[in-house]
Amino acid sequence: MTESKSKVVATAVIGTGHFATAVVTQAESIAQLSVPVVVDIDVEAAQLAFARAGVDAAEMVICESRAAALAAMAQQKRVILPAADLLMDLPVDVVVESTGVPEAGARHALAAIAHGKHVVMVSKETDAVVGPILAQRARAAGVVYTPTAGDQHGLLIELVEWARRWGLDVLCGGKARDAEFVYDGDARAVVCGRQAIALTADDWRWLQPIPPDSAAEFVAGR
């Protein structure tokens, strides 16, 4: 993937959640990146992703066949597909898998690799289960399989690498949701956005800092 700087990388996105929609919208500001194809079983979600990127509705075409998709791409239209199997023969360089469904992610990645396309795996669920297998398949096929920087598993890898560069021994790793959880001690509740969940006194106890010399007791209790 180190071709001429003048090459525009044609990218297809499967699944249009927050992350993939950001790929679609940001591509409009990157001269060397285009997203001509979006795949989602919910075509309205795909339309919304393109709309948020500033694409006029008249420039979007929902295609039910490979032939229709090729014809639309030849006219420089933005293609929306309801099924990923319609994508694999289309002229795109990279497939961004972002369904968040491990089984679907594995199928999509394997199909993309078999068709000579690079794969960027946003779906951490797939990467956690079969990522090494997909990477091996990609190497054998002469394409790239990679997690993505900026999302949960990519950020965790970057953090581990940063710690090791500083000479630190990494003992464990974890993640937090992209939503913010606030522990309200006065209300004895956990708040996320506009939702609050009341905690019992026993629940709240386990959210408190572990008292000195009580680690063994708390670990056993948890």
CA 173 – CA 122 distance, rounded (Å): 19
Q: Are both 136 and 187 inside the same structural domain?
A: no
User: Which of 54, 44, 37 shows the shortest CA–CA distance to 95?
Assistant: 37
More confident: 106 or 222: 106
Above 80 in pLDDT, residue 190?
A: yes
pLDDT for 5 equals 66
pLDDT (0 to 100) of residue 112: 98
Q: Is 46 among the domain residues?
A: yes
Q: Is residue 208 part of a domain?
A: yes
Q: Looking at the structure, tell me whether residues 34 and 76 fall in a common domain.
A: yes
* Domain containing residue 87: 9-150
* Alpha carbons 200 and 186: distance in angstroms, whole number: 13
Instruction: Name 173's Cβ contacts closer than 8 Å, sequence gap at least 6.
Output: 156, 159, 160
Q: Which of 64-78, 104-118, 170-184 has the lowest mean pLDDT?
A: 170-184
Number of domains in the chain: 2
The confidence score (pLDDT) of residue 206 equals 75
> Token pair 């499967």 is at which residue?
14
In a domain, 109, yes or no: yes
Q: Which residues of 162-193 are buried (b: 16+ CB within 10 A; e: fewer)?
A: eeeeeeeeeeeeeeeeeeeeeeeeeeeebeee
Cα of 176 vs its chain's centroid, Å: 15
Tokens matching residue 150: 């900026």
Average predicted confidence (pLDDT) for the chain: 90
DSSP letter at 181?
Answer: P
Same domain, yes or no: 94 and 195: no
The burial of 15, by beta-carbon neighbours within 10 Å (0-12 exposed, 13-18 middle, 19 or more buried), is given as buried
For residues 130 and 23, state if they share a domain: yes
Could you tell me if 93 and 198 lie in one domain? no
Structure confidence by residue, pLDDT tens digits, 118-129: 999 999 889 989
